[in-house]
Structures are given as C-alpha cells and as structure tokens.
Structure 1
Amino acid sequence: MALTEVKSLAQALSQEFNSANPNLDKCGQLLSQLKIALIELQYLTHEDKHNNVEELTVARDVLEIGAQWSVRKKDIPSFERYMAQLQTYYNDYSNLPPSPIKYNLIGLNLLCLLSQNRISDFHTALETIEPSQLHSNPVIQYPIKLEQSLMEGSYNRVWSSRSDVPSKEYLFFIDILMDTIRNEIASCSEKAYTSLPLKDAGTLLFFTNMEDILNFAKERKWKVNPVEQKAYFHSDADEKIGIPADQIIKQTMFYARDMDRII
C-alpha cells in the first residue's frame, strides 16, 4: 500500500473514532488495515532509515487511536501491545511534533498496571517519565494519588476519584480496580463477621443500589435473608460433617473383643 493510501486510511480512522458516536467495529477494521500497511512500510519496526517526520507522526497517531480503541473495546492485551509500540515513538523520536494525548495515554497505562496490582511495573513506568511531568501533570498525578490511597487503605478516595477522571477511558480501569477492592473488603468482612445487614454491606462495598448488592452476594455465595435484609457469610462451622457411624461401631466392637481376650 502506498503512503498516500495509508494517510487517507489514517484520516478516515481519525474522523470515525473522533465522531460523536463512533463505530468501533469499523475502527477496528481500519486499524487492522493500517497495521498491515505500516508493517509493510516498516514504520512499526522502527528502522533507522525512516526519518520522515510527517510519516512517523502518522504512524504514532494511528497507534494512539489503537490504544484508545482497545480500552473502549475492553481489550487489555491489545491496549498493552499498542502502548509497548508507542514507547519508541515517545522516547526515541524527539523530533516529532508533541502529541496532545501522550500523557493522557501514559497516565492510562499507569492506571492499567495499578488495576492489575502490578505495583513493581507501575513504579518502573514512573521512572521513565520526565520529572517536570511527574510532579505537575494532572493526568500523571491521577494514578499516583490513587496508588497512595490504595497503600493507605483509603478506598473511599479511590471511589470518589471516579468523578474527576482525566478521560472516560480511565473509568474502565477504575471499575476493574473497584472490583478488586470490593473483593478484598468482602474477604475481610467474611472473616470479621458472620452476617451483615444488606444496607451496611452496600455501604462498605460502595454499591448504590440493591440489585448490585444482591448480584455481588450471589457471586460470593452469601446466603441472603430477604425478610431480615441480611447477608450471611459462609463459615466452616455451617458445614455439616458426616460421621461414618458404621465404621465407628465396627471399630468399637473390635476393641471390645480385644479387651475381653486381654482380661
């Protein structure tokens, strides 16, 4: 595919993705065509011979849309692949025009790592960010503050952060993070209590409606009493242990006969 065709496809992808109601399936098809074309032109293999700023910028912009598209499709492995390819464009091609969404995507990648509890990778990624951006850029500070809240156990701050996300793509990873937090809180509650009122459980787990509470209770295999409006947690003490009566009787008779012989 000629470079002019690649630019035309890239423009069509940008228009569709940035429209008011983008067709994500169509964007996926355009991305597939563009990735093949860019590989053929060696703009995804980072050959040293390529120094054309305009063409490299087109390749970078396509990858950036691909990363955002992956989040909207809820495809984490695809997002990670796009971000891995973008690192070269961000770190090795300093002569390219600044990307308006570079740090938004870097912040999104940090949140992705945080949502998977990859704390070591999270801190490694922080080390690659320029100090000036690290301490002042709001989209970079967002995942940093979230990580601090998690370390402090301030889950309420994590929940509240949903209202001021840098972009709507961040909500995908925030929801994954909240699922992890809810399961952690549920595990602690199961060990600390035998039951909880559904209303209290909802408050602890940051649920705002009863349907979500009941669905979560079902996933955790809690016993819900609709009359009492309580959730009873599974306990080993609730399990009935079967007693092998026949075996015990036979062993007792055997010991009795042995005692008779001894006497």
Structure 2
Amino acid sequence: MAANIKQIHAKVLKSFSTNNPGTTALLAQAKLALIEAGLLVPVGEHHEQELIYARDILEIGAFWSIRVKDVPSFDRYFSQLQTFYSDYDGAIRPSDRKYALTGLNLIRLLTQNRISDFHTILESLPPETLQDNKFIRHPVNLERWLMEGSYSKVWNAREEAPAAEYRIFVDSLMGTIRNEIASCEEAAYNSLPMKDAETLLFFHNQQDLMAFTQKRGWQPDLIRHVFTFPSKADDKTAEIPSRKIIAQALTCAKELEQIV
C-alpha cells in the first residue's frame, strides 16, 4: 500500500506543478486511495512517510481548489488537514505549506465576514507568527485595514500577496468592499460623477465599471458623465406610532404602580 500511495503522490505533485487541468480527476482518485488505506482521516499509528504523502496530497488539493475557485472544496481539504496538523503534530516532520494554507483560510474567513472565527484561529497560533510569518501577517494586515476603512491599502495588497492563490481571495474581498462603498454612495447621494465612481470603486477601465454599475441598476448619463442611482421615491418610510406607544407605556406604568 505504501508503494501505491507513493506513486499516486508523485502523479498528483507532477500534475499540480505543471498546472494540468487533469489534477482535479487525479485528486479524486488519490482521495479514494487514501480512504482505502485509512489515511484520509487517520486514526492510530501509521508509517510516518505514508502520513506525509497523505498530508501532501491534501495540501495540494487545498491549493488546487483555490486555483480552480472551488471554495467549498478548499474548506473540506483544510478541515481534513487539521488531523495531520494537530493530532500528528510532532509525530511527523512539520509541513512547509501549513502556514500558507492557514493564511489562505484566514482570508477566506475575512471574505465571509466571519471575524470572530478569524480571531479564534489567530489566538491558536504562536504570537510571533502574526508579524514574523509572511503568510499570516498578510491577512492580519488586511483585517486591520478593513476595520480602519483603508480600502486602498487592501487593493494594493493584491500585488503584495505572498502566493498567487492569495490574490483570488483578495479579489473576492474587493468585490465585497465595492458593494459596501456603492451602498454608502447610494444612501448619501442621488448621483455620482463617472470619474469619481471609477476612483472610489477601484476600477481601472470603463468596461468593468459599467458592468458593475449595471448590476446595481445605476443609470449612466453619457452627456453629463454621471451615474444616477435607482429612485427611492417608492420607498415607504415606516411611520412610528409615537402617540400609541406613549399611551401604552403610560398604561403599563399605571398598572405596575397599582401592583406595587
């Protein structure tokens, strides 16, 4: 069985390193082999090299999932890796990919606005990694800039990503940021100059800007070069029945006074 896992590991590694589209199918076969060998979620004692092969295959699967933009698949691979990172920590040599994948997972949590989960993972890491490890420092900085509203720094961080896979999540994060900025503009103004919209939303060409604004229903005025936001004329402001609420409060107060 060890020889079989070794051969599968070699095939997956070669396919991944050449960015072969067939890597997806190879990974599916590799996971079946790991299940048969009891190595997908190992329990008890196993040969160290077999555990390393299994861990490598799952790590490659996690990276590949990001390359093909399959986030649910990344979640599954990262979850399966926790057995190797925790239960077998010390039993096998440390992984060179562990912090790179942990950093990716942290950015994934940011894109899903799962801030409490983000900080829970940070608290489980050695304190020195928050600044000394480039893979962890990157999402830590992103989270701080998001809290500060320094969106331009988040955008610039795309070019400073410690691995190519990080850019995919940062792009997703920018999509969330753009929608947040757009919602603020819609609430504050009735229209916005096109040039200002391009700058505020971090677009570098009109085509991408037009595609984004069209989805939000912004109306382009090519003569005045402005976007007009969807009319809120039909929005009905909920009337607060203040007199009724006050009367009910006074009645409750009188009843309580009688009880006392």
TM above 0.5, yes or no, is yes
For residues 53 and 133 of structure 1, the distance between their equivalents in structure 2, rounded to whole angstroms, comes to 26
Partner residue in 2 for 1:72? 67
Q: Which has the larger radius of gyration?
A: 1
C-alpha distance in structure 2 between counterparts of 1:30 and 1:74, whole Å = 17
Which digits, 9 at most, give the CA deviation of each residue in 1:204-225, with x for residues without a partner?
0000000011111100001111
Matches within 5 A, 1:18-97: 18-19=17-18, 22-24=19-21, 26-50=22-46, 52-93=47-88, 94-97=90-93
Q: Which of 193, 210, 225 is matched with 2:206 structurally?
A: 210
| Residues 41 and 80, structure 2, Cα contact 8 Å, conserved in 1 | no
Q: Secondary structure at the residue paired with 2:38?
A: coil
Cα distance in structure 2, aligned partners of 1:240 and 1:48: 62
User: Shift of residue 129 of structure 1?
Assistant: 1.2
Q: Deviations over 1:110-136 (max 9, x none)?
A: 001111111111111112212232331
Q: Secondary structure at the match of 1:49?
A: coil
- 2:116 is equivalent to residue 109 of structure 1: no
Percent identical among aligned pairs is 49
CA distance in 2, matches of 1:60, 1:15: 16
* Structure 1, unaligned runs of 5 or more: 242-263
* TM-score, normalised relative to structure 2: 0.87
1:244 alignment counterpart: none
Task: Give the equivalent residue in structure 2 for 1:190.
Answer: 186
- How far apart in 1 are the matches of 2:127 and 2:83? 19
Matched residue, 1:150: 146
- Give the match for residue 245 of structure 1: none
Give the secondary structure class of the aligned counterpart of 1:169.
Answer: helix
Pairing of 1:116-131 with structure 2 (within 5 A): 116-131=112-127
1:121 maps to a residue whose letter is D
Contact 2:41 2:83 in 1 (8 A): no
State the superposition RMSD in angstroms.
1.5
Unaligned ranges ≥5, structure 2: 237-260
How many residues are treated as equivalent by the alignment?
Answer: 235
Among candidates 227, 231, 237, match of residue 227 of structure 2: 231
- Following the alignment from structure 2 to structure 1, what is the Cα–Cα distance between the partners of residues 49 and 82? 18
Counterpart position of 1:15: 14
SS in structure 1 of the partner of residue 91 of structure 2:
coil
What TM-score results when the alignment is normalised by the length of structure 1?
Answer: 0.86
Runs of 4+ with deviation above 6 angstroms: none
User: Matched residues in 1 for 2:59 and 2:82: separation?
Assistant: 11
For 2:27, give the aligned amino acid.
Answer: L
